Amino acid sequence: MFKRCISTKKSLVFASLIFCIITVLILELKVLNFPKNSDLNFNRLHGQINLNESVKNREYSTKYLHSRNLIVIYNRIPKTGSTSFINVAYDLCKKNSFNVIHLNITKNSHFLSLADQARFVYNITSWNEKKPALYHGHVGFINFQVFGATVPIFINILRKPLDRLVSYYYFLRYGDNYRPNLIRKKHGNKVTFDECVKEKRPDCHPDNMWLQIPFLCGQSAFCWIPGNEWALQEAKKNLVEKYLLVGITEDITSFISVLETVLPEFFKGASEHFASSLKKHLRKTNKKIEPSEETVTEIKSSPIWQMENELYEFAAQQFHFIKNQMKMNENGTLLDKGIHFKFEKIYPK
Protein backbone atom coordinates (compact mmCIF):
# COMPACT_ATOMS: atom_id res chain seq x y z
CA MET A 1 0.00 0.00 0.00
CA PHE A 2 2.77 2.41 0.91
CA LYS A 3 4.70 1.66 -2.34
CA ARG A 4 1.59 2.27 -4.44
CA CYS A 5 1.20 5.72 -2.79
CA ILE A 6 4.80 6.61 -3.64
CA SER A 7 4.27 5.48 -7.23
CA THR A 8 1.08 7.55 -7.49
CA LYS A 9 2.86 10.67 -6.23
CA LYS A 10 5.66 10.22 -8.76
CA SER A 11 3.11 9.91 -11.54
CA LEU A 12 1.37 13.10 -10.46
CA VAL A 13 4.65 15.03 -10.33
CA PHE A 14 5.61 13.75 -13.78
CA ALA A 15 2.20 14.68 -15.21
CA SER A 16 2.41 18.17 -13.71
CA LEU A 17 5.87 18.65 -15.21
CA ILE A 18 4.63 17.63 -18.67
CA PHE A 19 1.66 20.02 -18.34
CA CYS A 20 3.96 22.94 -17.43
CA ILE A 21 6.25 22.23 -20.39
CA ILE A 22 3.30 22.12 -22.82
CA THR A 23 1.91 25.39 -21.39
CA VAL A 24 5.26 27.15 -21.83
CA LEU A 25 5.55 25.90 -25.43
CA ILE A 26 2.05 27.17 -26.25
CA LEU A 27 2.83 30.60 -24.81
CA GLU A 28 6.09 30.79 -26.77
CA LEU A 29 4.24 29.94 -29.98
CA LYS A 30 1.70 32.70 -29.29
CA VAL A 31 4.49 35.24 -28.79
CA LEU A 32 6.24 34.17 -32.00
CA ASN A 33 2.99 34.44 -33.96
CA PHE A 34 1.91 37.71 -32.38
CA PRO A 35 -0.49 39.35 -34.86
CA LYS A 36 0.55 42.54 -36.57
CA ASN A 37 -1.15 45.67 -35.28
CA SER A 38 -1.75 48.51 -37.73
CA ASP A 39 -1.42 51.01 -34.87
CA LEU A 40 2.07 49.89 -33.86
CA ASN A 41 5.23 49.75 -35.93
CA PHE A 42 7.62 47.15 -34.51
CA ASN A 43 11.21 47.82 -35.52
CA ARG A 44 12.85 44.53 -34.52
CA LEU A 45 16.26 45.56 -35.85
CA HIS A 46 16.56 48.46 -33.40
CA GLY A 47 14.19 47.11 -30.77
CA GLN A 48 11.89 50.16 -30.89
CA ILE A 49 8.13 50.69 -30.81
CA ASN A 50 6.90 53.90 -32.41
CA LEU A 51 3.35 55.16 -31.99
CA ASN A 52 1.99 56.44 -35.28
CA GLU A 53 -0.42 59.31 -35.86
CA SER A 54 -3.53 57.14 -35.59
CA VAL A 55 -2.62 56.36 -31.99
CA LYS A 56 -1.68 59.94 -31.20
CA ASN A 57 -4.98 61.33 -32.38
CA ARG A 58 -7.27 58.59 -31.11
CA GLU A 59 -9.76 59.65 -28.47
CA TYR A 60 -10.35 57.48 -25.45
CA SER A 61 -13.46 55.35 -25.84
CA THR A 62 -16.26 55.93 -23.36
CA LYS A 63 -16.20 52.24 -22.48
CA TYR A 64 -12.54 52.42 -21.50
CA LEU A 65 -12.83 55.70 -19.65
CA HIS A 66 -15.63 54.57 -17.38
CA SER A 67 -14.17 51.13 -16.81
CA ARG A 68 -11.74 52.85 -14.46
CA ASN A 69 -14.54 53.91 -12.06
CA LEU A 70 -12.58 56.94 -10.95
CA ILE A 71 -13.21 58.96 -7.79
CA VAL A 72 -12.17 62.62 -7.79
CA ILE A 73 -12.23 64.70 -4.61
CA TYR A 74 -12.27 68.47 -4.80
CA ASN A 75 -11.88 69.65 -1.21
CA ARG A 76 -12.78 73.18 -2.17
CA ILE A 77 -11.53 76.22 -0.26
CA PRO A 78 -14.07 79.02 0.37
CA LYS A 79 -13.85 82.10 -1.89
CA THR A 80 -11.42 80.68 -4.42
CA GLY A 81 -13.82 80.41 -7.36
CA SER A 82 -14.97 76.97 -6.27
CA THR A 83 -18.67 77.53 -7.05
CA SER A 84 -17.87 78.79 -10.54
CA PHE A 85 -15.77 75.71 -11.19
CA ILE A 86 -18.08 73.08 -9.67
CA ASN A 87 -21.05 74.42 -11.65
CA VAL A 88 -19.20 73.38 -14.81
CA ALA A 89 -19.05 69.83 -13.44
CA TYR A 90 -22.77 69.91 -12.64
CA ASP A 91 -23.50 71.02 -16.21
CA LEU A 92 -21.40 68.24 -17.73
CA CYS A 93 -22.12 65.31 -15.42
CA LYS A 94 -25.11 63.98 -17.37
CA LYS A 95 -23.47 64.40 -20.75
CA ASN A 96 -20.21 62.74 -19.64
CA SER A 97 -21.94 60.10 -17.48
CA PHE A 98 -20.49 60.73 -14.04
CA ASN A 99 -21.91 61.77 -10.66
CA VAL A 100 -21.31 64.97 -8.72
CA ILE A 101 -21.84 64.57 -4.98
CA HIS A 102 -21.69 67.35 -2.39
CA LEU A 103 -20.13 66.61 0.99
CA ASN A 104 -22.02 68.69 3.56
CA ILE A 105 -20.37 68.73 6.99
CA THR A 106 -22.26 69.58 10.19
CA LYS A 107 -21.63 73.12 11.53
CA ASN A 108 -19.44 73.84 8.49
CA SER A 109 -16.47 72.18 10.17
CA HIS A 110 -13.44 71.80 7.95
CA PHE A 111 -12.15 68.64 9.64
CA LEU A 112 -13.61 65.28 10.61
CA SER A 113 -13.20 62.98 13.56
CA LEU A 114 -11.11 59.88 12.89
CA ALA A 115 -14.27 57.73 12.95
CA ASP A 116 -15.98 60.03 10.42
CA GLN A 117 -12.91 59.90 8.19
CA ALA A 118 -13.04 56.10 8.26
CA ARG A 119 -16.75 56.10 7.43
CA PHE A 120 -16.26 58.58 4.62
CA VAL A 121 -13.38 56.61 3.12
CA TYR A 122 -15.30 53.34 3.26
CA ASN A 123 -18.55 54.79 1.91
CA ILE A 124 -17.20 56.48 -1.19
CA THR A 125 -14.75 53.73 -2.16
CA SER A 126 -17.40 51.01 -1.86
CA TRP A 127 -20.32 52.95 -3.40
CA ASN A 128 -19.83 51.39 -6.82
CA GLU A 129 -23.24 52.45 -8.13
CA LYS A 130 -22.09 56.08 -8.05
CA LYS A 131 -18.77 55.62 -9.80
CA PRO A 132 -17.26 57.47 -11.55
CA ALA A 133 -17.87 60.34 -9.14
CA LEU A 134 -16.64 63.80 -8.26
CA TYR A 135 -17.04 64.67 -4.56
CA HIS A 136 -16.75 68.25 -3.39
CA GLY A 137 -16.97 70.00 -0.04
CA HIS A 138 -15.21 72.41 2.34
CA VAL A 139 -13.02 69.87 4.12
CA GLY A 140 -9.30 69.45 4.75
CA PHE A 141 -7.29 66.85 2.87
CA ILE A 142 -8.02 63.26 3.95
CA ASN A 143 -5.24 60.68 3.71
CA PHE A 144 -6.89 57.54 2.32
CA GLN A 145 -3.66 55.55 2.59
CA VAL A 146 -3.75 55.40 6.40
CA PHE A 147 -7.06 53.52 6.09
CA GLY A 148 -5.63 51.07 3.55
CA ALA A 149 -8.10 52.25 0.91
CA THR A 150 -7.79 52.96 -2.80
CA VAL A 151 -6.52 56.51 -3.12
CA PRO A 152 -8.80 58.87 -5.12
CA ILE A 153 -7.67 61.74 -7.31
CA PHE A 154 -7.45 65.06 -5.44
CA ILE A 155 -7.72 68.48 -7.11
CA ASN A 156 -7.97 72.02 -5.71
CA ILE A 157 -7.74 75.75 -6.43
CA LEU A 158 -5.79 78.37 -4.45
CA ARG A 159 -6.16 82.15 -4.43
CA LYS A 160 -3.95 85.05 -3.38
CA PRO A 161 -4.45 85.04 0.42
CA LEU A 162 -5.29 88.73 0.91
CA ASP A 163 -7.69 88.74 -2.05
CA ARG A 164 -9.43 85.69 -0.59
CA LEU A 165 -9.72 87.29 2.86
CA VAL A 166 -11.12 90.58 1.53
CA SER A 167 -13.58 88.74 -0.70
CA TYR A 168 -14.82 86.63 2.21
CA TYR A 169 -15.07 89.69 4.46
CA TYR A 170 -17.45 91.49 2.09
CA PHE A 171 -19.22 88.27 1.08
CA LEU A 172 -20.43 87.85 4.68
CA ARG A 173 -21.87 91.39 4.56
CA TYR A 174 -23.28 91.71 1.05
CA GLY A 175 -23.57 88.19 -0.36
CA ASP A 176 -23.02 87.51 -4.04
CA ASN A 177 -24.81 87.25 -7.37
CA TYR A 178 -25.19 83.47 -7.03
CA ARG A 179 -27.81 83.70 -4.26
CA PRO A 180 -28.67 87.42 -4.16
CA ASN A 181 -31.60 87.02 -1.76
CA LEU A 182 -29.77 84.96 0.85
CA ILE A 183 -29.02 86.95 4.03
CA ARG A 184 -25.46 86.39 5.28
CA LYS A 185 -24.46 86.41 8.94
CA LYS A 186 -22.83 89.87 8.82
CA HIS A 187 -25.64 91.46 6.84
CA GLY A 188 -26.05 95.13 7.76
CA ASN A 189 -22.49 95.53 9.03
CA LYS A 190 -21.06 98.36 6.94
CA VAL A 191 -17.59 98.52 8.51
CA THR A 192 -15.06 98.53 5.68
CA PHE A 193 -12.06 96.22 5.63
CA ASP A 194 -9.76 99.22 6.11
CA GLU A 195 -11.70 100.30 9.19
CA CYS A 196 -11.69 96.76 10.51
CA VAL A 197 -7.89 96.50 10.23
CA LYS A 198 -7.38 99.94 11.76
CA GLU A 199 -9.60 99.08 14.72
CA LYS A 200 -8.02 95.60 14.98
CA ARG A 201 -11.32 93.77 14.90
CA PRO A 202 -11.35 89.93 14.81
CA ASP A 203 -13.13 89.67 11.41
CA CYS A 204 -10.04 90.89 9.55
CA HIS A 205 -7.35 89.43 11.80
CA PRO A 206 -4.53 87.80 9.77
CA ASP A 207 -5.29 84.48 11.46
CA ASN A 208 -8.40 84.32 9.26
CA MET A 209 -6.09 83.88 6.28
CA TRP A 210 -4.87 80.59 7.74
CA LEU A 211 -7.09 78.36 5.61
CA GLN A 212 -5.42 77.29 2.39
CA ILE A 213 -2.46 75.78 4.26
CA PRO A 214 -4.59 73.58 6.56
CA PHE A 215 -6.87 72.54 3.68
CA LEU A 216 -3.90 71.07 1.85
CA CYS A 217 -2.13 69.98 5.03
CA GLY A 218 -4.93 67.71 6.23
CA GLN A 219 -6.64 66.45 9.34
CA SER A 220 -3.72 66.67 11.78
CA ALA A 221 -4.12 69.00 14.78
CA PHE A 222 -0.91 70.79 13.80
CA CYS A 223 -2.36 71.73 10.39
CA TRP A 224 -4.88 74.04 12.02
CA ILE A 225 -2.50 75.99 14.27
CA PRO A 226 -1.98 79.43 12.64
CA GLY A 227 1.65 80.04 11.80
CA ASN A 228 2.75 76.41 12.17
CA GLU A 229 5.81 75.89 9.94
CA TRP A 230 5.33 72.12 9.81
CA ALA A 231 1.82 72.65 8.41
CA LEU A 232 3.19 74.79 5.58
CA GLN A 233 5.77 72.20 4.60
CA GLU A 234 3.20 69.39 4.81
CA ALA A 235 0.83 71.38 2.58
CA LYS A 236 3.60 71.81 -0.01
CA LYS A 237 4.45 68.13 0.16
CA ASN A 238 0.82 67.09 -0.29
CA LEU A 239 0.38 69.53 -3.17
CA VAL A 240 3.15 67.82 -5.11
CA GLU A 241 2.66 64.21 -4.00
CA LYS A 242 -1.06 63.82 -3.27
CA TYR A 243 -2.81 66.18 -5.68
CA LEU A 244 -3.19 65.60 -9.39
CA LEU A 245 -3.61 69.32 -10.00
CA VAL A 246 -3.84 72.50 -7.91
CA GLY A 247 -4.85 75.53 -9.96
CA ILE A 248 -5.07 79.22 -9.13
CA THR A 249 -8.18 81.38 -9.15
CA GLU A 250 -6.53 83.99 -11.32
CA ASP A 251 -6.22 81.46 -14.15
CA ILE A 252 -9.21 79.18 -13.62
CA THR A 253 -9.75 78.88 -17.39
CA SER A 254 -6.37 77.15 -17.81
CA PHE A 255 -7.12 74.96 -14.79
CA ILE A 256 -10.24 73.69 -16.55
CA SER A 257 -8.34 73.15 -19.82
CA VAL A 258 -5.67 71.05 -18.12
CA LEU A 259 -8.32 68.94 -16.39
CA GLU A 260 -10.10 68.40 -19.71
CA THR A 261 -6.90 66.96 -21.13
CA VAL A 262 -6.00 64.80 -18.12
CA LEU A 263 -9.50 63.73 -17.01
CA PRO A 264 -11.69 63.69 -20.15
CA GLU A 265 -14.00 61.23 -18.36
CA PHE A 266 -15.25 64.18 -16.34
CA PHE A 267 -14.25 67.33 -18.19
CA LYS A 268 -14.58 66.59 -21.90
CA GLY A 269 -16.01 69.77 -23.44
CA ALA A 270 -15.45 71.80 -20.24
CA SER A 271 -13.28 74.53 -21.78
CA GLU A 272 -15.73 75.34 -24.56
CA HIS A 273 -18.68 75.16 -22.15
CA PHE A 274 -17.04 77.46 -19.61
CA ALA A 275 -16.09 80.01 -22.27
CA SER A 276 -19.58 80.05 -23.78
CA SER A 277 -21.30 80.47 -20.40
CA LEU A 278 -18.77 82.65 -18.60
CA LYS A 279 -21.32 85.10 -17.21
CA LYS A 280 -23.42 82.25 -15.90
CA HIS A 281 -20.58 80.59 -14.02
CA LEU A 282 -18.60 83.51 -12.64
CA ARG A 283 -19.68 84.21 -9.07
CA LYS A 284 -19.00 87.71 -7.73
CA THR A 285 -19.46 89.39 -4.36
CA ASN A 286 -22.15 92.06 -4.65
CA LYS A 287 -20.02 94.78 -3.10
CA LYS A 288 -16.29 94.83 -2.44
CA ILE A 289 -14.03 97.77 -1.59
CA GLU A 290 -10.35 97.29 -2.36
CA PRO A 291 -8.11 97.84 0.70
CA SER A 292 -5.82 100.86 0.91
CA GLU A 293 -2.05 100.62 0.46
CA GLU A 294 -1.65 101.21 4.20
CA THR A 295 -3.91 98.25 4.98
CA VAL A 296 -2.16 96.02 2.44
CA THR A 297 1.23 96.88 3.93
CA GLU A 298 0.06 96.04 7.43
CA ILE A 299 -1.50 92.73 6.41
CA LYS A 300 1.58 91.70 4.45
CA SER A 301 3.77 92.29 7.50
CA SER A 302 1.99 89.39 9.20
CA PRO A 303 3.80 86.03 9.36
CA ILE A 304 0.47 84.36 8.52
CA TRP A 305 0.16 86.23 5.22
CA GLN A 306 3.81 85.48 4.41
CA MET A 307 3.31 81.73 4.94
CA GLU A 308 0.00 81.58 3.07
CA ASN A 309 1.52 83.57 0.24
CA GLU A 310 4.50 81.24 0.16
CA LEU A 311 2.14 78.32 -0.41
CA TYR A 312 0.25 80.26 -3.09
CA GLU A 313 3.46 81.14 -4.97
CA PHE A 314 4.61 77.53 -4.66
CA ALA A 315 1.30 76.32 -6.12
CA ALA A 316 1.40 78.92 -8.91
CA GLN A 317 4.91 77.87 -9.93
CA GLN A 318 3.91 74.20 -10.08
CA PHE A 319 0.72 75.01 -12.01
CA HIS A 320 2.56 77.14 -14.57
CA PHE A 321 5.11 74.35 -15.02
CA ILE A 322 2.28 71.94 -15.92
CA LYS A 323 0.51 74.53 -18.07
CA ASN A 324 3.66 75.28 -20.08
CA GLN A 325 3.88 71.64 -21.14
CA MET A 326 0.72 72.17 -23.18
CA LYS A 327 0.12 74.17 -26.35
CA MET A 328 -2.35 76.98 -26.95
CA ASN A 329 -4.60 77.23 -30.00
CA GLU A 330 -5.60 80.42 -31.81
CA ASN A 331 -8.58 80.87 -29.47
CA GLY A 332 -6.34 80.84 -26.40
CA THR A 333 -7.44 77.37 -25.26
CA LEU A 334 -4.82 74.99 -23.88
CA LEU A 335 -4.49 71.69 -25.71
CA ASP A 336 -2.54 68.48 -25.24
CA LYS A 337 0.64 68.41 -27.34
CA GLY A 338 0.07 64.74 -28.09
CA ILE A 339 2.20 61.70 -27.33
CA HIS A 340 5.90 62.55 -27.11
CA PHE A 341 7.39 59.31 -25.92
CA LYS A 342 8.35 55.95 -27.38
CA PHE A 343 9.57 52.62 -26.04
CA GLU A 344 13.18 51.92 -26.94
CA LYS A 345 15.56 48.97 -26.67
CA ILE A 346 13.02 46.21 -26.25
CA TYR A 347 14.94 42.99 -26.77
CA PRO A 348 13.47 39.49 -27.12
CA LYS A 349 14.17 37.10 -24.30
Confidence of residue 348 (pLDDT cuts 50, 70, 90): confident
Query: Has residue 349 got a pLDDT over 90?
Result: no
Convert the pLDDT of each residue in 71-112 to its tens digit.
999 999 999 999 999 999 999 999 999 999 999 998 889 999
Mean pLDDT value of segment 120-137: 96
Residue 102 annotated in active site = no
Mean pLDDT of 247-272: 95
Q: Taking 60 as the threshold, does the pLDDT of residue 62 lie above it?
A: no
- Adjacent-strand bridge partners of 41: 50
281 labelled catalytic: no
Return the pLDDT at 181: 58
Q: Which of 46, 66, 110, 138 is catalytic?
A: 138
Q: Is the pLDDT of residue 214 over 80?
A: yes
DSSP 275: H
Q: Which of 66, 102, 110, 136 is catalytic?
A: 136
Can you give the pLDDT at residue 347? 75
C-alpha to C-alpha distance for 194 and 165, rounded to whole angstroms: 12
> Quick one: pLDDT at residue 190?
87
**Cis, bond preceding 348 (omega within 30 deg of 0):** no
Tell me the pLDDT tens digit for each residue of 166-180: 999 999 988 876 665
Helix (H, G, I), strand (E, B) or coil at 102: strand
> Can you identify the CATH homologous superfamily of domain 62-335?
P-loop containing nucleotide triphosphate hydrolases (3.40.50.300)
CA distance 221 to 143: 14
pLDDT above 90 for 143: yes
DSSP state, 176?
A: B
Q: How far is CA 153 from the centre of its chain?
A: 5
For 328, phi then psi, to 5°, come to -115, 135
Asked if residue 99 lies in contact with residue 132, where contact means CB atoms within 8 angstroms, the answer is yes
